[in-house]
Amino acid sequence: MTFAHPAWFAVGLGVLGLVAGYVLAQVRTRRHTLRFANLELLETVAPRRPGPLRHVPTAVLLVGLVLLTVALAGPTADAKVPRNRATVMLAIDVSLSMEATDVAPNRLDAAKEAASQFVRELTPGINLGLVSFAGIATVLVPPTTDRAPVVSAIQALKLDERTATGEAVISCLQTIDLFSKTVATSDGSATPPPARIVMMTDGKRTVGRTEQEAAQQAAAARIPISMIAFGTDHGTIETDGSVIPVPLDTSAMKLIASVSGGDFHTAASAEELKSVYSQLGEQIGYETKQQDVSRPWVIAGTLAVLLGAAGALAVGGRIP
């Protein structure tokens, strides 16, 4: 916990002064009382005092003042706040290598399930779009807060030939740029909303622009790319009676993540993929901000002052 206005702690010196004054007042009262020479007469004249419990209301009141002093100092704490202006493009590889069964039932079906869960759990205020890519990249759903069309498009994904990883990145960047301009025009924003690309792929680029070129464009646009390498190094597919190995190309994926300022993840099973998506959902969907937490201190301090004052009236017939 930090404090926005720590100078207000100086008020605490006043509270310490009140404590010292109260102690001195009790000592002085005791000295004045003992000036009576006849103690038997003193017991008759002086009213019976409530004993040590008479100090409790004052102590509670002083504690309340301490709590109110902390509230004045403006305590703040880290809090997770949902992002409401962010734009996320989800890019999913649908090349033939996604037919490999090293991930049950196969890479594509497992990817569909995990991606659908990611979409459903993503913070509602985020604008989410979907791109599929094989030989070409296709924008299936432009950024929207409506999750239904994204889930439907994911479930309808079909396999195709070749892998245009770089083209998928460029397509995502163009979609984000167009959407950001639309948002800026509609709400008069001076700055575009924050954006990120989440790309899930399993293979090596075979056509289109290079990963280096695409990643550099993402870096120039300040749009990081979260790369998810899905599958294992022993995956295979069968084509025209031949078994073709389809291992992961992690070096290319790491390059995209590094150059763009994003991050790299691996998932060798459906559960691992869901876990990666869950982590990204937390990272993308929320941001940590300093929030004012003085309200509980104000409430506690006010209640303590009121209880202390009420106790003093009940015990001694006056407010200290």
Q: Concatenated DSSP letters for 219-272?
A: HHTT--EEEEEES-TT-EEEETTEEEE----HHHHHHHHHHHT-EEEEESSHHH
Looking at residue 34, its pLDDT comes to 52
3-class secondary structure, 136? coil
Looking at residue 41, its pLDDT comes to 53
Looking at residue 103, its pLDDT comes to 95
3-class secondary structure, 191? coil
Low-confidence stretches of the chain (pLDDT beneath 70): 29-52, 185-190, 316-320
* Continuous segment of H or E residues that includes residue 44: helix 39-45
One CATH from 3.20.19.10, 3.30.470.20, 3.40.50.720, 3.40.50.410 for 83-268 = 3.40.50.410
* Continuous segment of H or E residues that includes residue 138: strand 137-144
Q: What is the pTM of this model?
A: 0.72
Which residue matches tokens 């163009």? 174
The answer to whether 69 and 12 have CB atoms below 8 angstroms apart is yes
Chain Cα centroid distance, residue 203? 32
Looking at residue 48, its pLDDT comes to 56
Mean of pLDDT over the chain: 87
Sign for the CA dihedral angle at 294, 300, 303, 305 comes to: negative
Spell out the domain ranges in the chain.
Answer: 2-78+291-316, 83-268
Tokens of 152: 């439907």
Contacts of 105 (CB under 8 A, 6+ apart): none
